[in-house]
Amino acid sequence: MRILILNGREHYWRHPQASPCLMLMMMHSKKLMYSLNSLSFVQMFRYFPFLFILTLQLVINLHMFCHFSLQDTWVYFRDVDTAKNVMFTLGFVKFDDKTTAWDGQTGPSNELIRLIRRYCKGRKHLIVQSADIKVIIEEKLNVKCSYDKNVVDELVWGMKNVLREFILQEKYNVTREYRCLPVSKGLKQCLKDHLINLSTTELDANFIPKIGLLHYLNITLKQVPRMLRESYGDHVCRIGEHIKSNSMYARVLARILVPELAPEYDFCKMLSPDLALKIQEADKSATKYRDEQLTMHDREIIMGALSILLSVPKQRDDIMICVKLMEAEMCTRLMLLEDPHEKFVRVPTNLKHSTFRRTLLETPSGFAIFDVNEDVFRWPRHMWVRFIDAREARQVVLALGFVNVKDNSIAQNSYDGPGQELSSLILNLCGHDTKLIVQDDAHRGKTC
């Protein structure tokens, strides 16, 4: 299966050599479901190399850009539409008393045995939720099973999150607690990375698809430029070592290797004279590789990456703002629910149509980047009023990212500028045309 990103959403088509693997999962309301799981990540091969090569349907990004980790499994189950591209239901058996479906000593009931045998013929492997179930099914039914807690926990969370749309009989039985627990470690880490001050049990059905899409686009924006630099850097005199901006590097690479398709850029105006000269030298040295070795597939990869790196950052930023606004609204509602007698708190619905200025702040242990509502800057002398407490500040400030910098490598007496982690944060959240507000001229000289 391949993925094409259009307007911030993935569009899938089936890989001709894809094959499925199966998942046995115990449902909430005394029922059992047997489903086809076509979720896949290349990294899963580390756990079941033989199993997944034979039976796992691959989900591959366009041009094989992205390789997701197991911790990112939840992204493919963030909403029903996305999950339908990687999973569908094969069978369902209802048990009024779930204890009759499975006996710890004798194993599955006759109905469950028939269901398993019906869909587990040939080389298909059944993913199960515990090591005990694996042993019993393999001994009693002679069906090959696999169990890995790291895989299963993330997979179970994802399937439970979208269960109500796959098993209609369960639509009104899925509670918030059932859907959220056990917690997805990947989702939990994502909330931490994006400074979301909400627990996974407080997230509503509209928030998870948004944060999932944001995480997907962030992974894409990290892996696409890495792939470009690793695959083609040697053929352009390692010019990327002098270009930190990924979008600018994609422009330069496309002009050097695919000049017949890439837009024309005046690098003499866009970059320093020294760097523009290095680009000309790289262009000359790449002539033989471009004319004799560069394939049509390579050209497709380079132009596809250029398209992604020029369009996806804007989509990512829009979704990121939407996520932070949703967080602010949910936090406001939760505060009112916790203390209904508290004084009225303004709901930040007006922020949906606001513009923001991106700001870098030095914190006690590192640096953070915020979006500050444009309204704050209208009355500079009275700006402090909007920051008198956290509740008021939430109406005008959105926390976007944070990095812990032990030695504060961007200190005023530093000539090296920001360290690698801080540079990555700034470049990730501040595109080539983004203006970043900094605290003083020393910071400005090092970051801007």
pLDDT, tens only, 221-264? 999 999 999 999 999 999 999 998 999 999 999 999 999 999 99
Res 232: pLDDT: 96
Name which residue leads in pLDDT, 297 or 22.
297
Per-residue pLDDT of 359-401, as tens digits, reads 999 988 889 999 998 988 988 888 888 888 777 787 788 999 9
Rounded CA gap, 251 and 268, in Å? 13
How high is the mean pLDDT of the chain? 76
Res 308: pLDDT: 94
Name which residue leads in pLDDT, 354 or 189.
189
Among 266-275, 372-381, 439-448, the range scoring the smallest mean pLDDT is 439-448
Kindly state the average pLDDT of the residues 410-417: 50
**DSSP one-letter code for 137:** H
What is the identity of the amino acid at 42? V
Among 52-61, 127-136, 200-209, the range scoring the smallest mean pLDDT is 52-61
Among 13-22, 268-277, 289-298, 436-445, the range scoring the smallest mean pLDDT is 13-22
Q: Which of 309, 174, 294 is nearest to 248 (CA)?
A: 309
Per-residue pLDDT of 32-58, as tens digits, reads 333 333 323 222 222 222 222 222 222
Res 428: pLDDT: 85
Rounded CA gap, 445 and 448, in Å? 6
Q: Residue holding tokens 């086809």?
A: 36
**DSSP one-letter code for 397:** E
Is 183 in contact with 157 (CB distance < 8 Å)? yes
Domain spans of the chain, in order of start: 2-182, 194-341, 346-447
| pLDDT greater than 80 at residue 185 | yes
Rounded CA gap, 164 and 173, in Å? 8
Name which residue leads in pLDDT, 127 or 180.
127
Res 64: pLDDT: 31
Among 22-26, 44-48, 266-270, 331-335, the range scoring the smallest mean pLDDT is 44-48
Res 416: pLDDT: 56
| pLDDT greater than 50 at residue 6 | no
Res 301: pLDDT: 94
Kindly state the average pLDDT of the residues 275-282: 96
Res 393: pLDDT: 84
Rounded CA gap, 42 and 125, in Å? 17
Name which residue leads in pLDDT, 215 or 418.
215
Is 329 in contact with 391 (CB distance < 8 Å)? no
Rounded CA gap, 32 and 433, in Å? 53
Res 54: pLDDT: 22
Rounded CA gap, 379 and 299, in Å? 51
pTM of the model: 0.74
Largest distance between two CA atoms of the chain: 78
